[in-house]
């Protein structure tokens, strides 16, 4: 009989079955409320299963249940908001029934107290089956394997909201079986979340993992600082088990990952900096409705700038990119993600004067982000001509065209290598800074410069190089045991660039607070450990010596520049330094040297324009 009823219910449309169930509960709640009222009377009237007012009750309450949206939810995911919706629908339904019965028979024979007890009974009648059903589903799929699949026993690190939500989702999904929580909050010791115990503190992790026979560790600490993540990862590595993590809060906010999307711990989780707060209102106001051009928009920084800008309500976005593949890739991505964005993808060189002037005349951008540049230090040491053409002369071409066409703001993206440069790349970026500062004195266009250090996982940087070397089984090559670099994530760098845009008034050089420098050796060791290997044993680290133009450490400010804070704690401002030589004449000579491919003359002019570059070379020779 039971199976027959189950098959009959299963053949009915699920939504109709829920409506039928709720109307039955309304009927039952009304009868119970009436019965409760007359239970206090010595001689109650005969019990009527189908009282005359029942049809008014069913109609009024049914309309209210539908109007409140109760049938848009699923019993499988019943929660407190659903319970609140049931309570609201029950109270409103009692009021609708009162009105309906008043019109029907002036409430003849209906005790007023029934209308008070009825919504209480109905809340229980509608809520209890939903919660029982959810508990049954959670218990069924959270503890039993599906088919021949054996659920993986996992230990969840973090018993906060993220850990609780993760455990609930895992039990529902069924492929993972949470066997316990580990959390440093001693107040939680011995507590249970969804029936899963909090076993102990993080420092006990290796012992606890063995005790419960865990097969995997899941880190549920999206708001943990990088130092905290480093400690947690070290403890996970000590267990010898595989481990995963939920995304960081910034990744969730930016829409790159979903909350319940488990991922491997990445190097940016350990070395990236804590999220910074930005004045998004000012940034959006500064960009909304504007026409924006990004040169080098297909590169690591340029493409992320385009993504950030596309979200801020710009009138149009113009991308100027030399690489055909990079331009195609960012064009396809932006058109798919922002179908309403007015996008112009242009293939070309920033040093092509006719093209640059045509683009600026045609699209009349309000803001130009100049991200196009060559940046690979060792490669450029022997190719001064290409470094000068792209980093200096192309910047000159685009900046002058921007000034002539009335661009409101020109922002040059520079590098910490432009401070006391020891290489061609740094020297060319410093000259580009000098030229933009000189143009700023002519007025009409704001010229801003933003310096920052290395960004994690950018094209041609050390992170993808190390990743490839580790995949090949090593060795991982580090130039010097003591070499350090500043690091930040690509999204953070671009967000701070946008913040600097609305801070500057013209002729400023901004430097981003890069935090503490990181030893490249430590970076290599952490990347090896994150793959489950042991540095120095399973994968070797080899020191190859400093490369041409490479320094042991980088600087963000020249001693003569000084620096002062701005309105944003992560952005500092440097003082302007005027060049010691006639800049226009020197740039003209550079043009001529590039035409004749005179590498010697170019190197000499770099040293003359950037005295720090020459003095650094002489210092290395003396040593």
Please write the tens of the pLDDT for every residue from 117-138. 888 888 888 877 877 776 665 5
What CA–CA distance (Å, rounded) separates 97 from 107?
10
What CA–CA distance (Å, rounded) separates 277 from 256?
18
Tokens of 129: 């089956």
**DSSP code at position 102:** H
What CA–CA distance (Å, rounded) separates 280 from 53?
58
pLDDT digits (tens, 9 = 90+) for 248-274: 555 544 545 444 556 566 666 666 555
CB atoms within 10 A of CB 505: 8
Q: If one looks up domain 280-455+487-514+556-617 in CATH, what number appears?
A: 3.40.50.720
What is the CA angle 73-77-82, rounded to 5?
55
- 95: Cβ contacts below 8 Å, ≥ 6 apart: none
Whether residue 469 contacts residue 476, with contact meaning beta carbons closer than 8 Å, is answered with yes
Do 152-265 and 280-455+487-514+556-617 share a fold? yes
Give the H/E segment covering residue 176.
Answer: strand 176-182
CB atoms within 10 A of CB 542: 11
Phi, psi of 153 (to 5 degrees): -80, 120
Tokens of 452: 């920052």
Beta-bridge partner residues of 573: 510, 564
Give the H/E segment covering residue 246.
Answer: none
Give the H/E segment covering residue 152.
Answer: strand 152-157
What CA–CA distance (Å, rounded) separates 485 from 455?
10
- Spell out the long-range contacts of 41-50 with Cβ–Cβ below 8 A and sequence spacing 24 or more: none
* Residue from 615, 591, 602 nearest 382 by CA: 602
* Residue from 124, 126, 98, 121 nearest 19 by CA: 126
Residue range 171-190: mean pLDDT, rounded: 79
The pLDDT of residue 31 is 79
pLDDT digits (tens, 9 = 90+) for 480-515: 888 887 777 788 888 888 988 988 877 788 887 766
CATH 3.40.50.150 assigned to domain 152-265? The reply is no
pLDDT digits (tens, 9 = 90+) for 554-604: 766 666 666 777 788 778 887 766 666 678 888 899 999 999 998 888 888
Whether the model pTM is above 0.85: no
pLDDT digits (tens, 9 = 90+) for 512-543: 776 677 788 888 887 887 777 778 778 888 88
Domain ranges of the chain: 2-143, 152-265, 280-455+487-514+556-617
Q: Which of 78-82, 286-290, 575-579 has the highest mean pLDDT?
A: 286-290
């Amino acid at each position: 009989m039971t199976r027959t009823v189950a098959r009959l219910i299963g053949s009915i449309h699920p939504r109709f079955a829920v409506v039928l169930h709720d109307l039955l509960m309304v009927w039952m709640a009304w009868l119970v409320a009436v019965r409760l009222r007359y239970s206090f009377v010595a001689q109650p009237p005969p019990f009527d299963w189908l009282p005359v007012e029942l049809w008014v009750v069913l109609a009024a309450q049914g309309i209210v249940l539908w109007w409140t949206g109760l049938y848009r939810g699923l019993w499988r995911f019943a929660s407190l908001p659903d319970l609140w919706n049931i309570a609201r629908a029950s109270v409103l339904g009692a009021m609708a029934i009162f009105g309906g019965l008043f019109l029907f028979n002036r409430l003849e024979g209906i005790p007023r107290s029934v209308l008070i007890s009825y919504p209480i009974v109905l809340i229980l009648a509608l809520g209890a089956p939903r919660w029982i059903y959810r508990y049954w589903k959670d218990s069924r799929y959270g503890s039993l394997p599906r088919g021949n699949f054996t659920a993986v026993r996992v230990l969840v690190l973090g018993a906060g909201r993220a850990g609780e939500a993760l455990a609930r989702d895992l039990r529902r999904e069924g492929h993972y079986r949470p066997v316990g929580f580990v959390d440093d909050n001693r107040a939680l010791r011995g507590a249970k979340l969804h029936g899963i115990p909090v076993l102990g503190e993080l420092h006990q992790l290796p012992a606890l993992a063995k005790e419960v026979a865990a097969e995997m560790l899941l880190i549920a600490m999206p708001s943990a600082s990088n130092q905290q993540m480093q400690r947690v990862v070290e403890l996970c590595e000590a267990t010898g088990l595989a481990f995963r993590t939920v995304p960081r809060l910034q990744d969730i906010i930016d829409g790159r990952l979903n909350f319940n999307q488990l991922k491997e711990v990445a190097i940016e989780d350990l070395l990236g900096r804590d999220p910074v707060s930005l004045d998004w209102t000012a940034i959006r106001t500064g960009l909304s409705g504007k026409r924006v051009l990004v040169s080098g928009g297909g590169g690591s920084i340029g493409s992320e700038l385009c993504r950030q800008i596309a979200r801020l309500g710009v009138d149009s976005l113009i991308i100027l990119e030399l690489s055909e593949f990079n331009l195609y890739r960012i064009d396809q991505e932006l058109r798919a993600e922002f179908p309403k964005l007015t996008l112009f993808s242009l293939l070309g060189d920033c040093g092509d004067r006719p093209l640059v002037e045509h683009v600026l005349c045609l699209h009349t951008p309000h803001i130009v982000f100049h991200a196009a540049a060559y940046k690979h230090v060792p490669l450029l040491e022997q190719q001064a001509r290409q470094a000068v053409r792209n980093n200096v002369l192309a910047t000159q071409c685009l900046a002058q065209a921007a000034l002539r066409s009335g661009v409101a703001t020109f922002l040059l993206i520079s590098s910490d290598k432009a401070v006391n440069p020891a290489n061609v790349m740094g020297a060319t970026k410093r000259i580009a800074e000098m030229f933009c500062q000189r143009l700023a004195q002519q007025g009409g266009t704001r010229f801003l410069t933003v310096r920052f250090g290395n960004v994690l996982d950018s094209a041609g940087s050390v992170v993808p190089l190390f990743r490839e070397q580790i995949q090949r089984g090593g060795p991982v090559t580090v130039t010097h045991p003591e070499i350090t670099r500043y690091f930040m994530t690509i999204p953070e760098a671009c967000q701070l660039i946008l913040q600097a845009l609305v801070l500057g008034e013209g002729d400023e050089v901004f430097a981003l607070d890069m935090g503490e420098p990181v030893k490249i050796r430590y970076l290599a060791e952490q990347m090896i450990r994150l793959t489950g290997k042991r540095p120095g044993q399973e994968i070797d680290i080899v020191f190859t010596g400093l490369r041409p133009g490479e320094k042991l450490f980088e600087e963000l400010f020249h001693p003569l520049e000084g620096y002062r804070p701005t309105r944003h704690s992560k952005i500092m401002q440097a003082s302007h330094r005027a060049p010691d030589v006639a800049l226009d004449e020197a740039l003209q000579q550079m043009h001529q040297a590039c035409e004749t491919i005179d590498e010697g003359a170019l190197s000499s002019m770099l040293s003359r324009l950037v005295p720090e570059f020459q003095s650094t070379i002489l210092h290395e020779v003396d040593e």
